[in-house]
């Protein structure tokens, strides 16, 4: 602690280069940070200097009488950085998530005919693959984006950054996904409209950024069949 004329002077230097632009209200010093209760200029005073590559340097004076006030302020400032990260983790506001079918794809899909199977499964081919179809019992490597009917994503291999490998036709996944993958060809993309009886019989609980899936409720899967490991080995032989 530095004692200057019986006044405690604290200086905090913050590098604001990575701070979200939503933290700034304007270009003037008085409106730069959201501290409406810190407008009184009294001694002893706390001087907070903020530097930004996009804004001018400014100082905001705070009335403080103890080290406890200082620590409280630093915790408050650190919350400015942590808050946006927590909101993002909670899915508030909705963040852009990777998809197998973008906006252009969605428009084109409106003109693709719907196929309905005997089980009630419906699907539209986003892209018809040129490779082989997986025989029942073979492993497949696929990407998927799973949504509730409103379009909210509740699971995605794209977000996890790796393909999902499972044995098709072996009840390792929900019935609708199993059936929909069996008739696909390697390299193809398909949107599956899975009815409740072929979806999740026990449902799925909600989580931060993920909607709840009610038991036996309809869901939508966008899937892409990347490759079938067993078939590739047979072709090489």
Domains of the chain: 3-89 (no CATH), 103-236 (3.10.50.40)
Burial-class residue 99 by CB neighbours within 10 Å (0-12, 13-18, 19+).
middle
Whether 115 has a pLDDT exceeding 70, the answer reads yes
Tell me the average pLDDT across 32-42: 38
Identify the residue with better confidence: 73 or 165: 165
Nearest 5 degrees, angle CA 31-CA 53-CA 83?
60
The pLDDT score that the predictor gives to residue 232 is: 63
Residue 231's pLDDT is 79
Mean pLDDT of 72-89: 45
Report, as an integer, the average pLDDT of 29-41.
38
* % the chain with pLDDT above 70: 57
pLDDT in tens, 3-31: 444 433 433 333 333 333 322 233 334 33
DSSP 25-54: --SSGGGSS--TT-----SSEEEEEEE-SS
Q: Is 59 left (phi over 0), alpha (psi -120 to 50) or beta?
A: beta
pLDDT digits (tens, 9 = 90+) for 125-164: 999 999 999 999 999 999 999 999 999 999 999 999 999 9
Could you read off the pLDDT of 166-204 as tens digits, one per residue?
999 999 999 999 999 999 999 999 999 999 999 999 999
């Amino acid at each position: 602690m530095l004692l200057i004329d019986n006044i405690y002077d604290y200086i905090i230097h913050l590098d604001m280069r990575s701070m979200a632009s939503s933290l700034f209200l304007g270009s003037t010093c008085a409106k730069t940070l959201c501290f409406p209760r810190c407008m009184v200029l009294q001694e002893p005073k706390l001087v907070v200097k903020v530097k930004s590559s996009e804004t001018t340097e400014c100082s905001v004076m705070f009335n403080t009488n103890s080290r406890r006030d200082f620590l409280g302020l630093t915790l408050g400032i650190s919350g400015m950085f942590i808050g946006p990260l927590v909101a993002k983790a909670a899915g508030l506001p909705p963040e852009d998530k990777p998809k197998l079918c973008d906006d252009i794809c969605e428009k084109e899909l409106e003109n693709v005919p719907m196929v309905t199977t005997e089980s009630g499964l419906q699907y539209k081919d986003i892209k018809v693959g040129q490779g082989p179809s997986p025989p029942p019992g073979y492993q497949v490597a696929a990407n998927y984006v799973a949504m509730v009917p409103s379009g909210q994503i509740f699971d995605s291999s794209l977000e996890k950054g790796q393909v999902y490998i499972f044995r098709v036709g072996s009840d390792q996944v929900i019935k609708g996904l199993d059936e929909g993958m069996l008739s696909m060809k390697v390299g193809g993309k398909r949107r599956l409209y899975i009815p409740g009886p072929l979806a999740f019989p026990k449902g799925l609980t909600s989580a931060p950024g993920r909607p709840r899936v009610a038991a036996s409720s309809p869901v939508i899967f966008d899937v892409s069949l990347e490759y079938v490991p067993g078939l590739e080995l047979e072709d090489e032989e």
